Amino acid sequence: MAEKVKAEKEELAEDVIIDVEKAEEKKGRTTHEFNKESWNPRTLLGKKVKSGEIDSIDYILDNRLNILEYQITDILMPNLSTDLLLVGQSKGKFGGGQRRVFRQTQKKTREGNKPRFGTFAILGNEDGYIGIGYGKSKETVPAREKAIRNAKLGIIKIIRGCGSWQCGCRNPHSVPFTVEGKCGSVKVKLIPAPRGTGLCIERECKKMLSIAGIKDVWSQTSGQTRTKLNLIKACFDALKKLTEIKIKKETADSLGIVEGKINA
Ligand SMILES: [Zn+2]
């Protein structure tokens, strides 16, 4: 009997979480504004960005400067779209429940169970830039804010091209060559695909690639891909590796390689 009551209580708690998620979604779209004047930068890079000395994110990324203040990304890239990935799972009978945005963990204490929430945010301009970040907190709202802030700090620029033998259109709609990323036991391989293929990859990675601006890709994964956090990190690792390879200019022309924005 006691167990039944407990189960009911847990279900109630779940419903509350869903309501909070919905309310946040509504809020997130309206109250996403940033005031440049009220920001007081603390790093040298931040001061340069505020004064207008640095007016492009490419300068920061090309020189490998550390972004330590998220407002820098806010100023230099105002039109980023953000998304939360489904990394959590609701409790449920018969083999687990639905996938959720918040990953809920519990610490057992004398006072009772202390829940914590973690969430994974991605952001990008759908044109060659992408960032990912993980945030966790005692409540859902700060966890999401932290995740988005971390994603802004970890923004990267990727290269795109057409590396498929079946296409050869020289437009940057896919990846220029095969890359493999790894995290834990998970390996993700991104393979160039001809135009019109779409993103043949797991759902959360699909969100990542489309926010990064890649339209066609084939993929291969191995390892425990049920561990979504590792899968996402492995996919991001693969995207990072695109920029780590030195390419001759002739090759870049024949593969239609574009770094960052198409119209840059
Ligand atoms: Zn092509």
Is 79-156 assigned to CATH 3.30.160.20?
yes
| Stretch (H or E) spanning 229 | helix 228-241
Mean pLDDT value across the chain: 85
Task: Render pLDDT for 128-185 as a digit per residue (tens, 0 to 9).
Answer: 899 999 999 999 899 999 999 999 999 999 999 998 898 878 889 999 999 999 999 9
Span from the CA of 193 to the centroid of ligand 1 (angstroms): 8
Span from the CA of 126 to the centroid of ligand 1 (angstroms): 18
Decide if pLDDT at 90 tops 90.
no
For the chain, how many residues are written?
264
Span from the CA of 215 to the centroid of ligand 1 (angstroms): 10
Span from the CA of 20 to the centroid of ligand 1 (angstroms): 43
- Name beta bridge partners: 131: 123
pLDDT at 263: 66
CA angle 199, 204, 209 (to 5 degrees): 45
Span from the CA of 251 to the centroid of ligand 1 (angstroms): 15
Span from the CA of 214 to the centroid of ligand 1 (angstroms): 12
- DSSP letter (8 states) at residue 206: H
Task: Render pLDDT for 76-87 as a digit per residue (tens, 0 to 9).
Answer: 888 888 989 898
DSSP, collapsed to helix, strand or coil, labels residue 167 as coil
The domain spans of the chain are: 79-156, 158-259
The architecture of the domain spanning 158-259 is: 2-Layer Sandwich (3.30)
Span from the CA of 160 to the centroid of ligand 1 (angstroms): 11
**What residues have their beta carbon closer than 5 A to ion ligand 1?**
162, 167, 169, 195
Write out the E strands in the chain: 81-85, 88-89, 99-100, 102-108, 113-124, 129-137, 156-157, 159-160, 179-183, 186-192, 217-222, 258-259
Residue 133 CA to residue 149 CA, distance in Å, equals: 7
Cβ neighbours for 63, distance < 8 A, ≥ 6 positions apart: none
Span from the CA of 233 to the centroid of ligand 1 (angstroms): 27
| Residue carrying structure tokens 């039109």 | 79
Q: Would you place residue 258 in the very low, low, confident or very high pLDDT band (cuts 50, 70, 90)?
A: confident
Span from the CA of 194 to the centroid of ligand 1 (angstroms): 5
Task: Render pLDDT for 183-204 as a digit per residue (tens, 0 to 9).
Answer: 999 999 999 999 999 999 999 9
Span from the CA of 170 to the centroid of ligand 1 (angstroms): 6
Span from the CA of 161 to the centroid of ligand 1 (angstroms): 8
Cβ neighbours for 141, distance < 8 A, ≥ 6 positions apart: 20, 24
pLDDT at 3: 56
- Name beta bridge partners: 102: 119
Residue 138 CA to residue 242 CA, distance in Å, equals: 36
Decide if pLDDT at 243 tops 60.
yes
Span from the CA of 225 to the centroid of ligand 1 (angstroms): 29
DSSP, collapsed to helix, strand or coil, labels residue 182 as strand
